[in-house]
């Protein structure tokens, strides 16, 4: 969390190798990823990370099934294996009855859950999400966040999320606060999400200027 311009997207893009740092190091799972060569970096991206954007970025002229399967199709996996994985994930996200539809036929929340399924189809160790609930109403947002928790519990995926919303943040285990490109505060949950929500609100008030 942090005010607009504090560096949240920059941080996410650097950790997820979308951007390169001008200085400093990025170490994930003991590996210095800013030093990886192009081939190693491609494998790192394929095996380690998934990315979800605020605006979904689904391909309009493909069905939901094909959108989600795309990363596996590009990796030349077997069709049965691809379909099994798509079914498993979409069932977890409650969109397994939407597979034959096109993105324009889905609600915002369904589209975002499809985008998350696509990001997870390669079994990444870390899922990055930049304001994933930013374009959703509160009900769709809480459905998505519950799905993130299911994914964490079922696959052990780490979800790293940027959010402006204290409710969304209260679903997390840990919240880091950024200000002017630096970490200005940290909070960890004790498992009670209501208490955590209040602590987050207090921290936001203390650090000032959450909203843009
Ligand atoms: N490619 C870039 N080169 C130089 N400066 C950049 C670049 N991208 C962003 N910045 C600057 O870095 C700072 C952090 O931007 P960033 O997009 O990370 O903020 P943010 O916390 O994600 O904000 P928001 O909540 O509005 O999305 C801003 O001052 C921005 O203008
Ligand atoms: Mg941003």
Q: How confident is the model at residue 55 (pLDDT cuts 50, 70, 90)?
A: confident
Q: What is the pLDDT of residues 94-116, one digit of tens each?
A: 999 999 999 999 999 999 999 99
> CB of 187 within 8 A of CB of 200?
yes
Q: In this structure, is residue 3 part of a structural domain?
A: no
- What's the pLDDT at 72? 87
Q: What is the pLDDT of residues 129-169, one digit of tens each?
A: 999 998 889 999 999 999 999 999 999 999 999 999 999 99
Which ligand 1 atom minimizes the distance to the CA of 162?
22
Please give the residue range of the domain that contains residue 156: 8-207
Mean pLDDT of 76-84: 88
CA 168 to ligand 1 centroid distance, Å = 22
Q: In this structure, is residue 181 part of a structural domain?
A: yes
Nearest CA, atom 17, ligand 1: 9
> What is the spatial distance between Cα 106 and Cα 132, in angstroms, rounded to a whole number?
16
Q: In this structure, is residue 1 part of a structural domain?
A: no
Q: What is the CATH number of the domain that holds 90?
A: 3.40.50.300
Number of domains in the chain: 1
Q: In this structure, is residue 45 part of a structural domain?
A: yes
> What is the spatial distance between Cα 10 and Cα 13, in angstroms, rounded to a whole number?
5
Asked if residue 185 has its Cβ within 6 Å of ligand 1, the reply is no
CA 90 to ligand 2 centroid distance, Å = 28
CA 2 to ligand 2 centroid distance, Å = 10
**Buried/exposed 65-77: b ≥16 CB within 10 Å, e otherwise:** bbbbbbbbeeeee
Ligand nearest to the backbone CA of 212: 1
- How many CB atoms within 10 Å of residue 210? 19
Q: Which run of H or of E encompasses 189?
A: none
- What's the pLDDT at 210? 47
Q: What is the pLDDT of residues 22-44, one digit of tens each?
A: 999 999 988 898 888 889 988 88
Instruction: Give the residue among 118, 114, 94, 117 at the shortest CA–CA distance from 105.
Output: 114
- What's the pLDDT at 212? 47
> CB of 95 within 8 A of CB of 113?
yes
CA 2 to ligand 1 centroid distance, Å = 12
Q: In this structure, is residue 88 part of a structural domain?
A: yes
- What's the pLDDT at 90? 96
Q: What is the pLDDT of residues 162-193, one digit of tens each?
A: 999 999 999 999 999 999 999 999 999 998 98
Nearest CA, atom 7, ligand 1: 10
Nearest CA, atom 11, ligand 1: 5
Given a cut of 80, whether residue 211 has pLDDT beyond it is: no
> CB of 114 within 8 A of CB of 106?
yes
Task: Indicate the DSSP class of residue 207.
Answer: H
Given a cut of 70, whether residue 5 has pLDDT beyond it is: yes
Q: In this structure, is residue 130 part of a structural domain?
A: yes
Nearest CA, atom 29, ligand 1: 5
Cβ-proximal residues to 113 (8 Å cutoff; 6+ apart), any chain: 93, 94, 95, 143, 144, 147
Q: In this structure, is residue 110 part of a structural domain?
A: yes
Nearest CA, atom 16, ligand 1: 7
Q: In this structure, is residue 44 part of a structural domain?
A: yes
């Amino acid at each position: 969390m942090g005010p607009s311009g504090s560096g949240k997207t920059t941080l996410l893009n650097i950790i997820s190798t979308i951007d390169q740092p001008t200085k400093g190091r990025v170490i994930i799972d003991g590996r210095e990823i800013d030093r990886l060569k192009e081939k190693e970096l491609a494998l790192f991206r394929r095996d380690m990370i998934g990315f979800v954007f605020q605006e979904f970025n689904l391909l309009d002229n493909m069905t939901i099934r094909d959108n989600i399967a795309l990363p596996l199709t590009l990796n030349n996996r077997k069709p049965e294996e691809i379909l099994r994985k798509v079914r498993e994930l979409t069932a977890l996200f409650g969109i397994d009855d939407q597979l034959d539809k096109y993105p324009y036929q889905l609600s915002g929340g369904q589209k975002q859950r499809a985008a998350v399924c696509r990001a997870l189809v390669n079994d990444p160790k870390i899922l990055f999400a930049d304001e994933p609930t930013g374009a959703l109403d509160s009900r769709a947002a809480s459905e998505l966040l519950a799905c993130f928790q299911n994914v964490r519990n079922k696959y052990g995926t780490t979800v790293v999320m940027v959010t402006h919303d204290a409710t969304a943040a209260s679903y997390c285990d840990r919240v880091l606060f950024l200000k002017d490109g630096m970490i200005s505060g940290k909070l960890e949950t004790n498992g009670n999400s209501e208490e955590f929500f209040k602590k987050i609100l207090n921290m936001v008030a203390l650090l000032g200027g959450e909203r843009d």
